[in-house]
Structure 1
Amino acid sequence: MLEIAVQDPDGARAAMAAGADRVELCTGLSTGGLTPSSGLVAAVVEAAGPGRVHVLVRPREGGFVYSSAEVGVMVRDVELLARGAANGSGVAGVVVGALLPGGALDVAATGRMVAAAGGLEVTFHRAIDVCPEPEALVDGLLELGIARVLTSGCASRSIDGISVIAALAARVGDRLEIQAGGGVRVEDIPALLDAGASAVHLSARRQEDAAGPSGPGGGTAAYDVTTPDIVTKAAAAVATYRNRQA
C-alpha cells in the first residue's frame, strides 16, 4: 500500500490521481502534523473519495507527552470523526498516539482514543520513533487492537532504520501493519518492503512561493504542495514490487 501525507484537497486529489492507495490528512506537516479542521476533512474526503482518508489527531507540536486536558481534546476530536464516519462522512481512520514521560506507550491515553474511534481504523503515528523500546510499544499496540504503526525505525530516515523496521515486522507478523515512513525516497521503497513493511508513507511535497506578500503574522513566504510526479514514481515502485511478489 502507498499512503501520501497531504494538507489540502488539491494534494489529496493529486495523490489519488497519481496512484496513491490512501492519504493521511493533517496540517502543519513541517512540524510533524497537526489536527485538521472539520471543514478541511470534509473537503479532502470529497477530493480523495470515501474510505481513502485517515485523519491525524495531534493537538500541538512539541513531543507526544500530553496533559489530561490535551488527551481530552484528542478524544473529543476522534469521537467527532467517528460520529461523522457513522453518518457517512467517508473518513476511514484516525492516526493517534501518546507517550509517557519516559518514552513508553501511554496505554491509558491511547486506549481512550482507540475506544473513541469506534469502527474507524486506528494507526499509531511516529511517536514510536522516540520510544526507547519500540518492541515493547508494538506489543502494547497489539493489546489495544490498533491496526497499523507508522515508523522510521527510530531513525531520521526510514532507510537508516531498516533493521528496526525488519525486527518489528518479524515480531508482529500479520497482526499489525508496519508502515515505513520518514524521509522515504522512491528508490528506498523496494528495500523497505523487502524488510517486511507492508506499506510506505511519504509526503511527496515541494515548496511553492506564496502569491502575495507575507511577513509578520503571516508566516513564511512559502508553503508545501503535493508533487504528483513523486507520487506517480512511488506508486510505480509499489506496483512493481506487488507484481514481483505475485
Structure 2
Amino acid sequence: MVAFELAIQDGAGVDVAVRTGADRIELCSALALGGLTPSAGLIERAVGAGVPVHVLIRPRAGDFDFDADGRRMIVRDVRWACDAGAAGVVVGGTRGGRIDADLVRAVVAEAEDREVTFHRALDVVADPSGALIELAQLGVRRVLTSGGADRAADGRAGLTRLVRAAAGAIEVMAGGGVTRANVASVMATGVDAIHASAKALRAGAGLALGSAGDAAREVTDEDEAATLRRLVGRAGARP
C-alpha cells in the first residue's frame, strides 16, 4: 500500500488536496525555491481542512547546512507549527556530509508525539543508507528522497536500495518531479509513499517582483493531482 502526499503552498492548494483525497499535505511556501516555512495564516487555513498537515520547516533557500541561529529558528518553528495543530513537521539539516543529528534530535524532542519527516537533505549526504538507519534510531518517522537524483524517476536504483536498507524501520517516501507519466515506475521501487506537487504555471498580470523577473506563479493543478491520487490508489492508499 502506498500513501499519497501533496505538497501545496496556498489556500487553493489546500482545497485541491481535500477534493482529490490526498492522504497528507506537505504545507510550505515558495515551492519554486524547493519550499520554505509557510505563514501562520496558511497553517491555520490548512489544519482546519480535514487532511493531516505536515509543515515544512525551512528558514531559507539554498543548502541544508544551517548555522546555530538557523538551527534555533528551525526548532522554534517546529514548536510553533505543532502548537498551531500540525500533524507533523518536515525538516532537514546536514553537517560535514552527514545528517545534522543534533538538529534532528532537538526537532524530535520539540515535536513530541507529532510525526517528523526528514526531507531531501538526505539526497546530499555521503551515505544515504547509513543516514536512513541513524534517522530511524533518532525517532524520525519517514524520509523524503529522490534516491539521490534530481528526479525520483531517475533515482529508482537509489530508492530501491533505501527501501531495502529501511527494512520497515522507517518509511521511504519518493519525491522530486513525480508526475502521472512516471509515478508507476517510481512506485515499483517499493516505496511507502509518493510525494508530488502537481504544479502548473499560471501567467501573472502586473508587476514582476524579485530576481526571477516573471509575474507567473505556480499553482496546484487539480487534474494532475487527481490523476496521481488515482494512480497511487491502484497500489492501495495508506494514511
Q: TM-score, normalised by structure 1?
A: 0.90
- Aligned 1:183-222 pairs, distance under 5 A: 183-215=177-209, 220-222=214-216
Unmatched runs of 5 consecutive residues or more in structure 1: none
Shift in Å, 1:213: 3.2
Moved more, 228-237 or 13-22: 13-22
Output the aligned Cα RMSD.
1.7
> Is 1:140 the equivalent of 2:134?
yes
Which residue number corresponds to residue 112 of structure 1?
106
Please state if 1:231 is matched with 2:233. Answer: no
Q: Contact between 2:57 and 2:78, CA under 8 Å: does it hold in 1?
A: yes
2:79 matched residue in structure 1? 79
Aligned to 2:92: 97
2: CA distance, partners of 1:237 / 1:23:
17
Q: What is the CA–CA distance in structure 2 between the aligned matches of 1:239 and 1:33, rounded to whole Å? A: 26
The TM-score normalised by the length of structure 2 is 0.93
Distance of 1:182 and 1:193 partners within structure 2: 13
How many angstroms apart in 2 are the aligned matches of 1:25 and 1:171? 28
Identity %: 40
Give the distance between the partners of 1:15 and 1:198, measured in 2 at CA: 19
Which residue number in structure 1 is paired with residue 55 of structure 2?
Answer: 55
Q: Which has the higher helix share?
A: 1
Alignment coverage as a number of residue pairs = 235
- Specify the code of the residue in structure 2 equivalent to 1:92: A
Q: Runs of 4+ in structure 1 displaced over 4 angstroms?
A: 215-219
What is the rounded CA distance, in whole Å, between the counterparts of 1:184 and 1:164 in structure 2?
A: 15
Cα distance, 1:130 vs structure 2:
1.1
Deviations 1:124-178 (A, max 9, x none): 0000111121011101101111001000000011011111111111111221110
Letter in 2 for 1:196: G
Q: CA deviation at 1:104?
A: 0.5
Counterpart-to-counterpart distance in 1, 2:89 and 2:180: 25
The answer to which structure, 1 or 2, has the higher relative contact order (CA under 8 A, 6+ apart) is 2
- The 8 Å contact of residues 19 and 231 in structure 1, kept in 2 or not, is answered as no
Which residues of structure 2 form unaligned runs of 5+? none
Q: Secondary structure at the match of 1:187?
A: coil
Q: Distance in 1 between matches of 2:210 and 2:190?
A: 46
Report the CA distance between 1:52 and its aligned residue. Answer: 1.3
Structure 2: distance between partners of 1:4 and 1:126: 15
Q: Which of 120, 123, 127 does residue 117 from structure 2 map onto? A: 123
